[in-house]
């Protein structure tokens, strides 16, 4: 695989999706918890507008990788370049301010709140009224609430969850919760959307819906998508480039076809004895 | 039959975001307010005002404050009594030390002082949660107990250790009869209840609930935990502080630090648990319940005792009170964590379908 | 200098009693993840039961054998603590498996109220005394070292020895026995422990029993020192900062924390108190705990808390 080529200017992928500049560049990332090495010397980049998949067996460090990208974990070594600037140590909410949103593997919705309120929290960064205006619910606060409500309703329409908008999320079936989780991330109007196993535990119809949503997000909003997924069929179909992790190390990086034929990757998935 | 929402269509998001989206709810609450402001002063006697209604209103306000923190933001506090004390003593000092200080302003400033200390003692919440936070808030409680007892400046060097407010007056209106005191408290409570409702349905309320339900996810979508938690501490302490000022000025008249002991803190927490965590209405239910239960037991237990031929002592009543409170807390936490407020909303659901059972 | 040492030793003795109560906290927290606010109420109930049972049996025996009456008292109080443990598990904890820590904390507040009410209804709410024949006469030590020596209560020595034995026994119990392992597994993860076949209900009863016995020992020592009365429940509030200081999951932490707080309290009261108006004992402990909390949330000896996503 030719690394120099990958860092050059915008290209077009086999899927026909336009692919922009490198937006996020991870260089030599290592992450340890005490003595346990979760990630070792991992480098890869993410280009604007692409669908980038991270795959690997259980425990390969995929979720840790996402947590590094959005600032939940702080790697001991390595650099993260965001739009060409080195990122300082940061908290998750700062990543959110830079336009990085994510969904969670074990749905992390606010279970005491309705679907609308959950998605509205995603608008939080864009709401500017102060405490006193909110306390009195007058003028600016009311107008702001309505403006953002309209945005949220667009997302509700997009994800086809109109009928449950006032239901507490705790009462929803799993598949719908996953959609709300996606909706909340979308409400941030993110530049980079991190999806942690968006299709885990879904049946075929739900998976198809979710795939459609992901592709629509990519096409309509041009959002860069980083995806962790176990379903190889899905990954190979919708992603532009794939990075493969195993035991915290990178063992492959490239287009789906390149990765599919990579011997290390085959060994990791089937065991090296084969 | 009469509690149904058909025919009430929302044509704008503004209409859909009102406090009461069902017209009947709106009329019910306005009716309740009208009843409390107009009918109650004519119906209730002095004992009712002194022993039940005024304590109920003031403690409702305090419980509302605690509920914002515990029920909405998920931060536990065992030091609410301390913030009541800060509110009361700060308001007292503003009154005593500044000539011509208006009563209401002094009380609000008492609330502001409580809010400042609320932020200070909320700082540990940024690093610890749950039981650890309980300890931090208890520290506030014991520090305040001590400070108001031992530091003479706070009590204006009163020799007995107790302080009192001579005359309650607002814009020439002298508040001295129980009815007037009741109306004064009622005005505060209604205003603050609306503020609380507004905050909880606005962006800040969503931030609090997000932190409560899943703090990591909240942070990932851009909520700053520091701002969310400390603002909850500030607003909650403000409410509690104003309630403390009302408790001291209006209900007690003169008071000692013991009026705001750790028992008061526990009592407020229990109101929130029994009334319903994360519910404005629940704060009122909880306060009503805890104010009325001891009075009820005092009347009822000796009666019950005499029926079976046992004399119930005062100690016996207070023990029974402990047992009943304790059991109810356990009961609500196990069976209905949303408290009486939840039972209320279940009743409303049933009423919607009435007269059909399903 | 002698006065300083006397103050410090006095602090150590009080601290040891805090340690005993703190130990009850730690045991239950380790085994069920419950922060048991009712530990103070348990001390009260245990002490009340002990005092009254021995009083009643003493009267029934005609006042001949204080020893026998005390044995009956201890056995009776032990039985009461067993009933408490069983009832707590059966009626409360069983229904709250996998709940959040804050809920469990609040539920123990409820338990505390119920225990306080029931205990006083059954055993009365006067001040009672416990006499287990501890020698009360003071001894003078270190006479060679200081002018006049240092005055110490014999009773305190026996109490300290008792506490040390108890701690050693509990440490062995937790680290070396199968039940101890099961208890630690339960504390770690309710569901996981259940799925490897550890009976949750039984372990909870056991650990609440053990905590009940620790409460009994604490109750007897406190009770024989200053009488059994309602104010014993405030012991829980005094011991709370101890656990935070020492670390919620650490038995040695409870001990060391208790001693630090005991000594710190006494020294601060004696040397700092006069300048600020006295009575600073109670908040001093809390402020110490708060400072530790800010810099080392897991306490001096606790296990590091790692948040996973």
Q: Answer yes or no: do B222 and A111 touch at CB < 8 A.
A: no
**Touching chains, B (3+ CB pairs < 8 A):** A, C
Instruction: List C-alpha distances in Å: C237 to B80, B263, C199, C261.
Output: 16, 12, 32, 13
- In this predicted structure, what is the pLDDT of residue A11? 52
Determine, yes or no, domain membership for B35: no
Query: Closest partner residue to B214 among A72, A108, A135, by Cβ?
Result: A108
- In this predicted structure, what is the pLDDT of residue A6? 43
Does the pLDDT of residue B105 top 80, yes or no? Answer: yes
Kindly give the confidence (pLDDT) of every residue in chain C, 309 residues in length, as a single tens digit, with 9 standing for 90 and above: 677 877 888 888 888 888 888 888 888 887 777 888 888 899 999 999 988 888 888 888 776 777 888 888 889 999 999 999 999 888 888 888 777 777 888 889 899 999 999 998 888 878 887 777 666 666 766 666 666 666 677 777 777 787 778 878 887 877 788 877 777 777 677 777 777 777 778 888 888 888 898 889 888 888 887 788 888 787 778 888 888 888 887 878 888 888 888 888 888 888 887 777 777 777 888 888 888 877 877 777 776 655 544
Query: Closest partner residue to B315 among C91, C96, C125, by Cβ?
Result: C125
- In this predicted structure, what is the pLDDT of residue B92? 92
Looking at CATH, the fold of the domain delimited by A1-99+190-274 is given as Rossmann fold (3.40.50)
Query: Exposed (0-12), middle (13-18) or buried (19+): which is C308, by Cβ within 10 Å?
Result: exposed
> B180 lies in which domain range?
45-353
Q: Which residues of A touch B198 (CB under 8 A)?
A: 134-137
Does the pLDDT of residue B54 top 60, yes or no? Answer: yes
| Interface residues of chain C, partner chain A, Cβ below 8 Å | 306, 309
The encoded tokens of residue C221 equal 């020592």
Q: Answer yes or no: do C309 and A33 touch at CB < 8 A.
A: no
Q: What are the pLDDT digits (tens) for A224-233?
A: 999 998 888 8
Q: What are the pLDDT digits (tens) for B168-221?
A: 777 777 777 888 889 999 999 999 999 999 999 888 999 999 999 888 888 888
Residues in chain B: 358
Q: Which residues of A touch B203 (CB under 8 A)?
A: 120, 123-124, 127, 129, 134, 144-145
Element (H, E) at B167: none
**Region label for B252, one of left (φ > 0), alpha (ψ between -120 and 50) or beta (otherwise):** alpha
Determine, yes or no, domain membership for B19: no
CATH code of the domain containing B348: 1.10.3470
Determine, yes or no, domain membership for B170: yes
**Could you tell me if C240 lies within 8 Å of chain B, comparing CB atoms?**
yes
- As a whole number of angstroms, the distance between CA B208 and CA B62 comes to 18
- As a whole number of angstroms, the distance between CA B280 and CA B340 comes to 11
Q: Answer yes or no: do B209 and A113 touch at CB < 8 A.
A: yes
Determine, yes or no, domain membership for B81: yes
DSSP string of A49-74, one letter each residue: T-EEEEE-STTSSHHHHHHHHTTSS-
Q: Which residues of C touch B325 (CB under 8 A)?
A: 110, 113
Q: Answer yes or no: do C279 and B150 touch at CB < 8 A.
A: yes
- For the segment B113-124, the average pLDDT, to the nearest whole number, is 91
Determine, yes or no, domain membership for B18: no
- For the segment B319-334, the average pLDDT, to the nearest whole number, is 89
Q: Where in chain A is the domain with CATH 3.40.50.300?
A: 1-99+190-274
**Could you tell me if C122 lies within 8 Å of chain B, comparing CB atoms?**
no
- As a whole number of angstroms, the distance between CA C257 and CA C253 comes to 6
Rg, C-alpha atoms of chain B:
21
DSSP single-letter state for residue A88: P
The encoded tokens of residue B5 equal 């929402």
For chain C, give every domain's residue range. Answer: 2-236
Q: What are the pLDDT digits (tens) for C3-26?
A: 787 788 888 888 888 888 888 888
DSSP string of B296-329, one letter each residue: HHHHHHHHHHHHHT-PPPHHHHHHHHHHHHHHHH
3-class SS at A245? strand
Q: Answer yes or no: do A104 and C306 touch at CB < 8 A.
A: no
3-class SS at B193? helix
**Total domains, chain B:** 1
Give the strand pairing for A249-254 and A224-228: unpaired
- For the segment A177-197, the average pLDDT, to the nearest whole number, is 91
**ipTM field:** 0.86
Residue of C nearest to B214 (CA): C309
Determine, yes or no, domain membership for B358: no
| Contact assessment for residue B338 and residue B277, using Cβ atoms and an 8 Å cutoff | yes
3-class SS at C140? strand
Instruction: List C-alpha distances in Å: B104 to B15, B98, B110, B115.
Output: 34, 14, 10, 16
Residue of A nearest to C304 (CA): A34
Q: Which residues of B touch C106 (CB under 8 A)?
A: 76, 269, 273, 329, 333
Instruction: List C-alpha distances in Å: A210 to A160, A182, B219, C159.
Output: 11, 9, 25, 67
CA distance B204 to chain A (A): 7
Give the 3-state secondary structure percentages of chain C, helix then strand then coil, rounded to 5: 75, 5, 20
User: Hey, which residues 146-165 in chain A have their CB within 8 Å of chain B?
Assistant: 146, 149-150, 153
- As a whole number of angstroms, the distance between CA C63 and CA C70 comes to 11
DSSP single-letter state for residue C303: P
The encoded tokens of residue A271 equal 């065991």
- As a whole number of angstroms, the distance between CA C248 and CA C305 comes to 11
Give the strand pairing for A18-19 and A100-102: unpaired
- For the segment B68-81, the average pLDDT, to the nearest whole number, is 90
Q: Answer yes or no: do B135 and C290 touch at CB < 8 A.
A: yes
CA distance C303 to chain A (A): 13
Q: What are the pLDDT digits (tens) for A12-65?
A: 555 566 677 888 899 999 998 877 888 999 999 999 889 999 988 888 888 889
Residue of B nearest to C286 (CA): B139
CA distance A130 to chain C (A): 29
Determine, yes or no, domain membership for B58: yes
Residue of C nearest to A64 (CA): C309
CB atoms within 10 A of CB A251: 18
CA-nearest of A39, A68, A84, A82 to A196 is A68
């Amino acid at each position: 695989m030719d690394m120099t080529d990958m860092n050059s200017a915008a290209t077009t992928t086999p899927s026909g999706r336009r692919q922009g500049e490198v937006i996020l560049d991870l260089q030599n990332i290592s992450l340890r918890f005490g003595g346990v090495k979760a990630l070792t010397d991992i480098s890869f980049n993410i280009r604007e507008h692409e669908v980038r998949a991270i795959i690997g067996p259980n425990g390969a460090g995929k979720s840790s990788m996402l947590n590094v990208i959005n600032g939940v974990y702080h790697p001991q070594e390595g650099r993260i370049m965001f739009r060409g600037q080195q990122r300082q140590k940061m908290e998750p909410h700062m990543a959110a301010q830079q336009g990085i949103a994510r969904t969670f593997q074990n749905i992390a919705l606010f279970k005491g709140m309705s679907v609308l309120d959950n998605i509205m929290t995603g608008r939080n960064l864009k709401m500017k009224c102060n405490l006193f205006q909110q306390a009195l619910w007058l003028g600016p606060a009311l107008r702001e609430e309505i403006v953002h409500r309209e945005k949220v309703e667009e997302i509700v329409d997009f994800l086809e969850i109109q009928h449950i908008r006032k239901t507490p999320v705790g009462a929803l079936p799993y598949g719908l919760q996953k959609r709300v989780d996606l909706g909340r991330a979308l409400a941030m109007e993110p530049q980079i959307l991190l999806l942690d196993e968006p299709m885990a535990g879904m049946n075929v119809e739900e998976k198809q819906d979710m795939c459609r949503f992901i592709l629509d997000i990519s096409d309509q909003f041009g959002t860069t998508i980083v995806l962790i997924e176990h379903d190889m069929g899905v990954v190979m179909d919708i992603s532009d480039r794939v990075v493969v992790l195993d035991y915290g190390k990178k063992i492959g990086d490239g287009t789906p076809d390149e990765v599919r034929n990579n011997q290390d990757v085959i060994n990791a998935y089937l065991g090296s004895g084969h | 039959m009469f509690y149904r929402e058909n025919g009430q269509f929302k044509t704008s998001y503004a209409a859909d975001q009102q406090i009461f989206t069902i017209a009947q709810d709106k009329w019910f609450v306005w009716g309740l307010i009208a009843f409390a402001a107009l009918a109650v002063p004519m119906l209730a006697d002095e004992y009712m005002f002194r022993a039940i209604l005024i304590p109920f209103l003031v403690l409702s306000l305090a419980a509302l404050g605690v509920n914002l923190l515990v029920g909405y933001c998920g931060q536990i506090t065992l030091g609410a009594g301390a913030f009541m004390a800060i509110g009361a003593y700060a308001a007292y000092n503003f009154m005593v030390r500044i000539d011509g200080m208006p009563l209401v302003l002094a009380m609000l400033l008492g609330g502001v002082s409580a809010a400042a200390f609320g932020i200070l003692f909320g700082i540990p919440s940024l690093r610890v949660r749950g039981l650890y936070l309980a300890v931090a808030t208890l520290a506030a409680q014991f520090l305040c107990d001590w400070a108001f007892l031992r530091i003479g400046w706070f009590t204006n060097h009163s020799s007995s250790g107790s302080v009192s407010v001579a005359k309650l007056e607002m814009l020439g209106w002298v508040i001295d009869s129980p009815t007037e005191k009741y109306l004064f408290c009622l005005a505060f409570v209604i205003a603050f209840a609306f503020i609380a409702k507004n905050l909880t349905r606005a962006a800040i309320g969503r931030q609090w609930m997000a932190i409560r339900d899943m703090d990591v996810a909240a942070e990932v979508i851009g909520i700053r935990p520091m701002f969310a938690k400390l603002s909850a501490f500030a607003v909650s302490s403000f409410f509690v502080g104003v309630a403390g000022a009302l408790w001291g000025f209006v209900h007690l008249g003169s008071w000692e630090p013991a009026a705001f002991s750790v028992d008061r803190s526990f009592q407020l927490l229990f109101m929130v648990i029994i009334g319903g965590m994360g519910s404005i209405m629940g704060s009122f239910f909880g306060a009503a319940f805890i104010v009325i239960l001891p009075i009820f037991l005092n009347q009822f237990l000796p009666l019950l005792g005499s029926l079976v031929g046992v004399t119930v002592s005062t100690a016996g009543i207070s023990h029974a009170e402990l047992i009943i409170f304790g059991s109810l807390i356990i009961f609500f936490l196990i069976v209905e964590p949303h408290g009486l407020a939840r039972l209320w909303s279940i009743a409303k659901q049933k009423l919607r379908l009435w007269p059909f059972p399903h | 200098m002698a006065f300083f040492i006397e103050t410090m030793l006095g602090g150590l003795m009080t601290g040891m009693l805090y340690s005993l109560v703190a130990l009850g906290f730690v045991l239950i927290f380790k085994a069920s993840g419950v922060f048991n606010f009712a530990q103070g109420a348990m001390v009260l109930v245990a002490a009340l039961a002990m005092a009254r049972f021995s009083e009643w049996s003493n009267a029934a025996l005609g006042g001949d054998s204080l020893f026998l009456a005390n044995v009956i008292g201890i056995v009776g109080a032990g039985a009461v603590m067993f009933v408490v443990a069983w009832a707590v598990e059966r009626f409360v904890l069983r229904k709250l498996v996998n709940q959040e820590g804050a809920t469990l904390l609040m539920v123990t507040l409820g338990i505390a109220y119920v225990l306080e009410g029931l205990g006083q209804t059954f055993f009365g709410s006067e001040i009672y005394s416990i006499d287990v024949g501890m020698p009360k006469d003071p001894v003078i030590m270190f006479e060679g070292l200081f002018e006049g020596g240092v005055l110490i209560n014999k009773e305190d020595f026996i109490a300290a020895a008792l506490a040390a034995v108890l701690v050693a026994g509990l440490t062995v119990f937790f680290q070396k026995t199968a039940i101890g392992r099961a208890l630690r597994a339960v504390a770690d993860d309710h569901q996981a422990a259940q799925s490897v076949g550890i009976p949750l209900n039984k372990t909870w009863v056991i650990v609440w029993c053990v905590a009940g016995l620790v409460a009994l020992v604490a109750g007897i020592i406190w009770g024989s020192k200053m009488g059994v009365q309602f104010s014993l429940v405030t012991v829980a509030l005094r011991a709370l900062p101890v656990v935070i200081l020492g670390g919620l999951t650490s038995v040695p932490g409870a001990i060391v924390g208790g001693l630090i707080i005991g000594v710190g309290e006494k020294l601060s009261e004696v040397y700092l108190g006069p300048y600020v108006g006295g009575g600073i004992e109670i908040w001093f402990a809390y402020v110490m705990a708060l400072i530790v909390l800010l810099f080392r949330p897991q306490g001096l000896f606790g296990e590091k808390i790692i948040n996973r996503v």
